[in-house]
Amino acid sequence: MSFRLPEGGCLIDRGQPVSFSFNGKAMQGFAGDTLASALMANDQRMVGRSFKYHRPRGIMASGVEEPNALMNMEEGARFEPNQRATTQEIFAGLQARSQNHWPSLGFDIGALNNHLSRFLPAGFYYKTFMKPQWAWKHVFEPIIRRSAGLGQVPGARDADRYEHFYVYTDILIVGGGLAGFEAALEAGRAGARVLLLEQSPYYGGRAMVDDIELGGRSGPAHIAHLLAQLERMENVTLRLRIQGAGVFDHGYALGYERVNDHAPDTRPRHRLWRIRAARIISATGALERPLSFAGNDIPGVMLAGAARDYIRLYGVAPGARTVVACNNDDAYRTALALHGAGLEVPLIVDARLKGGGELAEQARSLGIRVANGHAIARVNGGKQVTGVEVCLQSGTGGAVETIACDCVAMSGGFSPVVHLWSHCGGKLNWDAANGMFTPDPARPPTDHNGEGFVLAAGSAFGALQTDACIKSAISAARQAGEEVGRSLAEEPAPRRVRQEQVASPLPVWAMPAKAPYALRAKSWLDFQNDVKVSDVQLAAREGFESVEHTKRYTTLGMATDQGKLSNINGLAVLADSLAAEIPQVGTTTFRPPYTPISLGAIAGEAAGRLFKPTRKTAMHEWHARRGAIFEPVGDWLRPYAYPQQGERVQDAINREIRATRNGVGLFDASTLGKIMVKGPDAGRFLDLVYTNMISSLKPGKCRYGLMCNENGFLIDDGVVARLSEDSFLCHTTTGGAGNIHAHMEEWLQTEWWDLEVFTLDLTEQFAQIVVAGPEARKVLEALGGLDVSRAALPFMGFVEGELAGIKARVFRISFSGELSYEIAVPAGQGVLLWNLLLQAGGEHGIAPYGTEALHVMRAEKGFVVVGDESDGTVTPYDLGMGWAVSKKKDDFIGKRGMQRSFLTAEGRKQLVGLRTLSDREKLPEGAHAVADGKALGHVTSSYFSPTLQHPIAMALIQNGQARMGEVLEFRADGKLYKARVVDPVFYDRKGARQDV
């Protein structure tokens, strides 16, 4: 049993009880408790079921390395799965549920797998479920999906908000333990800008728990002493609850701040610190390794350091009677801490024949029994530990003694947290004496100058003893300081450290050394993914010699855990099975983030309304008030149609088209790109950019032009107006404005930099309003101020002046095929002009029309839309627009491309019109024409034409021009359509209506 001790616990406030619930059961802890410590205080040691075999699992660790205690946290819009109980601070009303069991934690049907474990070894899913084939989809997969996996997927929309924060600093220190603090102090003294991040809610790390003594102060007192000095330094920032989650190229690092997970309120829940540091000091500590003995996963077995943490930090006894099992001296601290808390320690099982150093002597002198050269053969118990069988470490597991206990504290040595060092390519050395990988300072990750930018300090560097830890921290800080131009000549005074004499650890990868299969098959390496010693050995036998392959085959070190506890033990077993050395086998790749971070933190503020920028025209509010339905075009929102009260959308579109064709319509064309091109060489440049001749255009005139890429494929189209001898205004498609401006600048800056030309994207300077329809001229005349007669302003001309007193440029261009004026005014005047036009057009039944009406009208006229009729593989010739490709020009972008053999060859798809044989059938867009089992092409646009009272469509069809009159078959949506190939211009073939 685990329980709250009558005293102790430096992080908890016994004066502040906090109520929470676990699996619906009300419990109480204290402010400062983690969910794990509070659960243990309530004797709730079993906290979940394992991934594959559904074995009962308990709390194993006290920090981010916890593999078992993963919780479904909270409910509804704040529900989140897989949250570690060991890093979740409790707050009033917290609701946690255990995972991976049905119907309940205590009684779980899935636990049947445990008895079938013989048949579910590593890679079983690669070997089974093969036949019959249909069964995978209908039987195996649904069952596996239900039984495997960890927490549930959240269903509701996330109620919380998130954000990013950019920070630039000289030195980033990750880890607020002794090493991080000493490094911060030294770098801070030298005047460097320092940011120190600590992932937990308190500073000090192991110094808060281990009985160390520095300068005559205890660990916690020394940390407080350093903290006071650091807080006085203006150039040093210390932050809690931010994990240095990843290190990336060129000094970029991510800090994952859990702002209010410990006290939910209206603040952003997580903040992602996007940090750029000249140097990064990784003072991330070390993780203790489990020992691989049978039953090492039974609730009540935990890491020795964690057991000590629960006593010292939270005043919680991990058990009443604890057996300590170890291969190193550090675990003796746990035995001493247990003893000091008045708890029983019946035995310390030390695999080393000669036993430990000073700490072991202390334990012995307190009367604690130590069994040297011994091991745990197996742990007894089901849902919790009831005892251990002790054997010789050198043997096969024959028990020499059985000891009743309710807790086992194990320590298999330490692995420096080399993650941040390794994320960006830092290399490791194998320290055989201590059985650990340590950062190789000669091979650090390098930055944009080719210099190492990460330094490791403290136990993350492999300096496990206090004096070495401080020394490495000072050294890292001095080096980093020097490299950022902040160094101090004099070294700090050395700290007086009381240092126990320590005996060497003994690498122990299997306990006992010659454990038979029955024991190995119950010796867990990876608790989270249910991988045992026998699984890794099987993988090795089956030829998975690469550690990366073994990882995938066995799932060792996968998922949210990424092998924090299992990595080294697993690869040691693999190395042993392959009769290789550990460094030859190597580690799997350390990838960021260190622990999983929320998707919300990655998205930051870009959610909901702020998901993506939306661009609105000057008349947007008017459209919205008029009930427009909007469609997104690029980032723009454009009115699609303006349905009136009770009107169906299709009816609204038809009404808008009829109003325009028969009277006058009004259209917001502000989103069309407007790029000004000016300079002595502007004409020459535009001749290179457009396929047709632009330089011959007269000032005051407009010309429709096409642009291709160097491949010869159409990328944009629009009307060019020559404003003066040396300046042009190029209209582009709505989606094309930014790209085409960039395209022009790219060619100007990187190829034709000798041309004297300036470009400027003026799209947003103007509101552009189209007045189209037979009555359009009358509407403009009613506004007054400009002569818009045919003589003064002919088709494809433009004039500048004042319309109704507003400074305007009026173009006679038409995309609807009607008499049409496009009026550009400063965007701020857009609404005024729009309303004036509406007023003036009232007597002609003027109607605003949306993009869909526009698209139908242009299709009636056979005008193409870039992106509908073109898809990046279509040339102007394919679209029957060879007339817009100059034969006179030596060069333009795309000219050479169009000459390639397959672009000039017979049999290319060409633009045609389609008329369905039945007037009641509209072809689906994208439908393919099929003949003799071969695809001939596809429908690019399809509409019902209210003008012609029948459906119309355009398509790209192989040899289309030669197929006029042919009837083609189209198949789509399980239906067969028949349509005749016709000219794509359905309406006013001569263009008489627009040129009046």
Partner 1 sequence: MLLLKCPCCGVEGEETEFHCGGEAHIRRHATGSTDGEFASYMFERKNPKAVVFERWRHVFGCGKWFHAARCTVTLEVFATYGAQVLAPPKPVIAKIKARRPDWRQK
Partner 2 sequence: MSFSEIDGSGAVLVAAQRRVEMVVLKADLSNKTTRATLKKLLGGPVPAPRKIVNNVAWMAPDELLIMVPDGSSADGLVALLNAGVKAPVLAVDVSDARAVFSLKGNHAREVLAKGAPVDLSPGAFGPGDFRRTRLGQVAVAFWLEAEDEFQLVCFASMREFMFDWLVNAAQKDSLPGYF
Q: Which residues bind partner 1 (CB under 8 A)?
A: 248-252, 276, 446-450, 710-711, 742, 745-746, 749-751, 753, 890-891, 895-897, 900-901
Distance in Å, CB of 682 to partner 1, minimum: 18
* C-beta of residue 937 within 8 angstroms of C-beta of residue 929: yes
Residue whose structure tokens are 């198949």: 971
The interface partner of residue 745, options being partner 1, partner 2, none and the CB cut-off 5 to 8 Å by kind, is partner 1
Distance in Å, CB of 191 to partner 2, minimum: 12
Query: CA 349, CA 392: separation in Å to the nearest integer?
Result: 10
In a 3-state reduction of DSSP, which class is residue 555?
Answer: coil
Single out the residue of 82, 86, 327, 763 in contact with partner 2 (rule: CB under 8 A): 763
Cα angle for residues 208, 590, 471 (degrees, 5° grid): 40
- Binding region for partner 2 (CB under 8 A) out of 216-224, 603-611, 645-653, 895-903: 603-611
Which element (helix H / strand E) includes 673?
Answer: strand 673-678
Single out the residue of 93, 215, 485, 680 in contact with partner 2 (rule: CB under 8 A): 680
Which element (helix H / strand E) includes 348?
Answer: strand 344-350
Residue 429 binding partner 2, by CB under 8 A: no
Nearer to partner 2, 213 or 635 (CB): 635
Single out the residue of 606, 649, 799, 930 in contact with partner 2 (rule: CB under 8 A): 606
Nearer to partner 1, 742 or 962 (CB): 742
Whether the ω angle into residue 593 lies within 30 degrees of 0, i.e. cis, is yes
* C-beta of residue 892 within 8 angstroms of C-beta of residue 687: yes
For residues 331, 336, 338, 342, the Cα torsion angle rounded to the nearest 10 degrees is 170
Nearer to partner 2, 618 or 788 (CB): 618
Nearer to partner 2, 277 or 719 (CB): 277
Beta strands in 568-635 (DSSP E): 629-633
Residue 164 binding partner 2, by CB under 8 A: yes
Single out the residue of 828, 872, 926, 991 in contact with partner 2 (rule: CB under 8 A): 828
Cα angle for residues 304, 307, 309 (degrees, 5° grid): 110
Residue 614 binding partner 2, by CB under 8 A: yes
- Binding region for partner 2 (CB under 8 A) out of 48-56, 332-340, 616-624, 928-936: 616-624
The interface partner of residue 81, options being partner 2, partner 1, none and the CB cut-off 5 to 8 Å by kind, is none
Nearer to partner 1, 695 or 711 (CB): 711
In a 3-state reduction of DSSP, which class is residue 634?
Answer: coil
* C-beta of residue 279 within 8 angstroms of C-beta of residue 449: no
What residues does 631 pair with on adjacent strands?
638
Distance in Å, CB of 976 to partner 1, minimum: 41
Nearer to partner 2, 572 or 757 (CB): 757
Pick the closest to residue 479 from 441, 445, 449, 507 (CA basis): 441
Distance in Å, CB of 901 to partner 1, minimum: 7
- Binding region for partner 2 (CB under 8 A) out of 34-42, 266-274, 474-482, 855-863: 266-274
Label residue 536 exposed, middle or buried (CB < 10 Å: 0-12, 13-18, 19+).
buried
Beta strands in 38-120 (DSSP E): 46-49, 56-58, 70-73, 80-84, 94-98
- Binding region for partner 2 (CB under 8 A) out of 91-99, 370-378, 695-703, 824-832: 824-832
Distance in Å, CB of 562 to partner 2, minimum: 28
Query: CA 400, CA 373: separation in Å to the nearest integer?
Result: 12
Question: Which parts of 726-745 interact with partner 2 (CB under 8 A)?
Answer: 727
The interface partner of residue 265, options being partner 1, partner 2, none and the CB cut-off 5 to 8 Å by kind, is partner 2
Q: Which two tokens stand for residue 81?
A: 């799965």
DSSP code for 452: B
Residue 756 binding partner 2, by CB under 8 A: yes
> Number of C-alpha atoms within 13 angstroms, CB side, residue 919?
5
Pick the closest to residue 787 from 747, 821, 817, 764 (CA basis): 821
The interface partner of residue 152, options being partner 2, partner 1, none and the CB cut-off 5 to 8 Å by kind, is none
CA distances to 295, 319, 385, 387, 475 from 382, in Å: 9, 16, 7, 11, 49
DSSP 824-866: EEEGGGHHHHHHHHHHHHGGGT-EE--HHHHHHHHHHTT---T
Nearer to partner 2, 457 or 737 (CB): 737
Residue 552 binding partner 2, by CB under 8 A: no
* C-beta of residue 550 within 8 angstroms of C-beta of residue 541: no
Distance in Å, CB of 749 to partner 1, minimum: 4
Nearer to partner 2, 145 or 612 (CB): 612
* C-beta of residue 36 within 8 angstroms of C-beta of residue 94: no
Residue 617 binding partner 2, by CB under 8 A: yes
Single out the residue of 118, 138, 157, 609 in contact with partner 2 (rule: CB under 8 A): 609
Query: CA 194, CA 473: separation in Å to the nearest integer?
Result: 14
Query: CA 322, CA 308: separation in Å to the nearest integer?
Result: 11
Query: CA 702, CA 687: separation in Å to the nearest integer?
Result: 15
Phi, psi at residue 593, to the nearest 5°? Answer: -80, 160
Distance in Å, CB of 174 to partner 1, minimum: 18
Distance in Å, CB of 450 to partner 1, minimum: 4
Residue 679 binding partner 2, by CB under 8 A: yes
Size of the site for partner 2 (CB under 8 A): 48
Distance in Å, CB of 900 to partner 1, minimum: 7
The interface partner of residue 645, options being partner 1, partner 2, none and the CB cut-off 5 to 8 Å by kind, is none
Residue type, 902: F
Nearer to partner 1, 145 or 888 (CB): 888
Q: Which two tokens stand for residue 873?
A: 């593989």
The interface partner of residue 478, options being partner 1, partner 2, none and the CB cut-off 5 to 8 Å by kind, is none
The interface partner of residue 251, options being partner 1, partner 2, none and the CB cut-off 5 to 8 Å by kind, is partner 1
Distance in Å, CB of 252 to partner 1, minimum: 5
Single out the residue of 102, 126, 165, 753 in contact with partner 2 (rule: CB under 8 A): 165
User: What is the Rg, in whole angstroms, of the alpha carbon atoms belonging to the chain?
Assistant: 38
The interface partner of residue 900, options being partner 1, partner 2, none and the CB cut-off 5 to 8 Å by kind, is partner 1
Query: CA 262, CA 30: separation in Å to the nearest integer?
Result: 13
The interface partner of residue 497, options being partner 2, partner 1, none and the CB cut-off 5 to 8 Å by kind, is none
- Binding region for partner 2 (CB under 8 A) out of 3-11, 582-590, 611-619, 931-939: 611-619
Distance in Å, CB of 545 to partner 2, minimum: 44
Single out the residue of 453, 509, 636, 834 in contact with partner 2 (rule: CB under 8 A): 636
Residue 603 binding partner 2, by CB under 8 A: no
Query: CA 370, CA 332: separation in Å to the nearest integer?
Result: 10
The interface partner of residue 449, options being partner 1, partner 2, none and the CB cut-off 5 to 8 Å by kind, is partner 1
User: Could you tell me whether strands 385-392 and 374-381 are parallel, antiparallel, or unpaired per DSSP bridges?
Assistant: antiparallel
Single out the residue of 97, 271, 812, 915 in contact with partner 2 (rule: CB under 8 A): 271
Q: Which two tokens stand for residue 434?
A: 């201590």
The interface partner of residue 983, options being partner 2, partner 1, none and the CB cut-off 5 to 8 Å by kind, is none
Q: Is 444 left (phi over 0), alpha (psi -120 to 50) or beta?
A: beta
Single out the residue of 760, 917, 935, 967 in contact with partner 2 (rule: CB under 8 A): 760
Phi, psi at residue 897, to the nearest 5°? Answer: -60, -40
Distance in Å, CB of 710 to partner 1, minimum: 7
- Residues in the site for partner 2, rule: CB under 8 A? 161, 163-168, 193, 237, 265-268, 271, 273-274, 276, 604-606, 609-610, 612-618, 635-636, 676, 678-680, 727, 756-758, 760, 762-766, 826-828
